A and B are shown apart, each in its own frame.
Chain A
Amino acid sequence: MADEATGGFQIHPMDQFIVKPLFGGDHIAWYTVTNVTLWMALAVVAIAALLIYGTRRRAIVPSRSQSVAEMIYGFIYNMVEDVTGHEGVKYFPYVMTLFLFILLSNLLGLLPMAFTTTSHVAVTVVLALLVFLGVTILGFIKNGVGFLGMFWVSSAPLAIRPVLAIIEVISYFVRPVSHSIRLAGNMMAGHAVVKVIAGFASMAIVSPVVIGAVSALYGLELLVAVVQAYVFTILTCVYLRDAVGGAHH
């Protein structure tokens, strides 16, 4: 995409998000191998490299890569256990899948010329809907109709309970929206801003400032990449607690 910036002072900050077929052609069918496929596959490879190749020695005293894998495992395991309780631990692999996919997609997206899969609403909406539908179905399976008691705030005075119930229902259905837009918006905005500022590097006068600014923004984006993966995961745990831990907040 660098060739586009050469034609004078043109910045295309959104071009990096374009989905395009890897092996030529214009039409994108649901099965077409695209840059989405490539970067998701790279995320899978990175996860396998870290969690399988990195732990191949099964050492009592871990190597560096095994330590990283164990730290991620312990971090997410403790998060699931702390937030959802013992009942939630059996959904740990699912939460771990979400966390690792988002973390690795965010981080791989920061490589130059990379495509950030998590900056697409299509991807994050599916992730958020998986959580939303999963939690809702699980809540009804576990608690039956009693799951609806979550919306009936029994600690509030009787008179305002119906109002609170409406607010609770609305907030419940807004969850997947905020859950998905937060992640996609953060990733997209960060990458777009970096691209816009980097575009100014073609002006020789400001280019030193631009390079410094892009470096600083890159560090910020690294932080955002990790924090957003964390936020998505902990919100998943919080939502899961509603289903697993019953109606009590």
Chain B
Amino acid sequence: MATDAQGAAGEAVGMPQLDFSTWPNQIFWLAVTLVAIYMILTRVALPRIGAVLAERRGTISNDLAAAEELKLKAVEAEAAYNEALATARAEAAKIVAQAKAEIDAELAKATAKADAEIDAKAAVSEARIAEIRAGALESVTEVAKDTARELVAALGSKADARSVTAAVNARLKG
């Protein structure tokens, strides 16, 4: 090997690049190499890499579209949720109003009933008071008659009950 190199070096004085005897060899192998690389690229490598890149682009755009769709769905779900919330709130307000109305009605009924009872009791009481008053008046007549009889008796005269009563009644009327 070393002797070969020395021999070749001896031939190629100066620049080996300008040793034109090696040009056909280099050009031949260069042609072979370029054809080989071109075949590798066009038959296998470039279609494969191109397909991978296209596939990736497709996957990314698909994923983006899916994300967009999911976002729309989320917005939709939020709207539905808000709507449900509003409905529930309205329902609750309605129930509250209804309950309030019921309670009010019941309260009014109870109040009316209590008023009626109070009125009735007041009437009874008044009647009783009137009765008691009447009873008291009668008692006063009785007492006056008794007192008058006793007084008459004490004064030493005998008075019959009828005349005393008449006198008292006359007095009382007067």
Which A residues are closer than 8 A to B by beta carbons? 1, 3-4, 12, 14-15, 17-21, 24-26, 28-32, 34, 36-37, 40-41, 43-44, 47-48, 51-52, 55, 58-60, 62, 66, 69-70, 73-74, 92-94, 96-97, 100-101, 117, 119-123, 126-127, 130, 184, 188
**Contact between chains at A51 and B45 (CB < 8 Å):** yes
**How far apart are the CA atoms of A34 and B16 in the complex, in Å?**
14
**How far apart are the CA atoms of A20 and B40 in the complex, in Å?**
28
**Contact between chains at A55 and B45 (CB < 8 Å):** yes
Contact A97:B17 (CB < 8 A) given known A58-B52, A73-B53: no
| CB-contacts of B18-47 with A (<8 A) | 18-19, 21-34, 36-38, 40-42, 44-46
Interface size class of B (residues with CB under 8 A): 35 or more
Identify 5 residue pairs between A and B in the complex whose beta-carbon atoms are under 8 Å apart, listed by A's number: A19-B26, A34-B22, A47-B45, A97-B34, A188-B15
**How far apart are the CA atoms of A32 and B32 in the complex, in Å?**
13
Q: Please give the distance in Å from A8's CB to the nearest CB on chain B.
A: 16
**Contact between chains at B29 and A17 (CB < 8 Å):** no
Q: Please give the distance in Å from B141's CB to the nearest CB on chain A.
A: 123
With beta carbons under 8 angstroms apart, the residue of B8, B29, B45, B49 that contacts A20 is B8
Which B residues are closer than 8 A to A by beta carbons? 1-2, 4-5, 7-9, 12, 14-19, 21-34, 36-38, 40-42, 44-46, 48-53, 55-56, 59
With beta carbons under 8 angstroms apart, the residue of B16, B26, B33, B55 that contacts A43 is B33
Contact A60:B26 (CB < 8 A) given known A26-B7, A52-B40: no
Contact A96:B41 (CB < 8 A) given known A28-B25, A37-B29: yes
**Contact between chains at A126 and B27 (CB < 8 Å):** yes
Given contacts A18-B12, A59-B52, 4 further A-B contacts (CB under 8 A): A36-B29, A55-B48, A58-B52, A122-B23
**Contact between chains at A12 and B9 (CB < 8 Å):** yes
Contact A17:B53 (CB < 8 A) given known A34-B29, A37-B29, A51-B41: no
Contact A18:B27 (CB < 8 A) given known A55-B52, A93-B41, A101-B33: no
With beta carbons under 8 angstroms apart, the residue of B5, B25, B31, B44 that contacts A32 is B25
With beta carbons under 8 angstroms apart, the residue of A58, A73, A123 that contacts B46 is A73
Residues of A within 8 A of B23 (CB): 122
**How far apart are the CA atoms of A73 and B8 in the complex, in Å?**
40
Q: Which of B2, B19, B26, B36: most chain A CB closer than 10 A? A: B26
Residues of A within 8 A of B34 (CB): 97, 101, 130
Residues of B within 8 A of A123 (CB): 26-27, 30
Contact A122:B41 (CB < 8 A) given known A58-B51, A58-B52, A184-B17: no
**How far apart are the CA atoms of A73 and B42 in the complex, in Å?**
12
With beta carbons under 8 angstroms apart, the residue of B2, B7, B17, B41 that contacts A121 is B17
Closest to B7 in A: A26
**How far apart are the CA atoms of A122 and B32 in the complex, in Å?**
14
Contact A120:B37 (CB < 8 A) given known A15-B5, A96-B46: no
**Contact between chains at A30 and B25 (CB < 8 Å):** yes
**Contact between chains at A52 and B37 (CB < 8 Å):** no
**How far apart are the CA atoms of A1 and B42 in the complex, in Å?**
38
**Contact between chains at B9 and A15 (CB < 8 Å):** yes
Q: Please give the distance in Å from A70's CB to the nearest CB on chain B.
A: 6
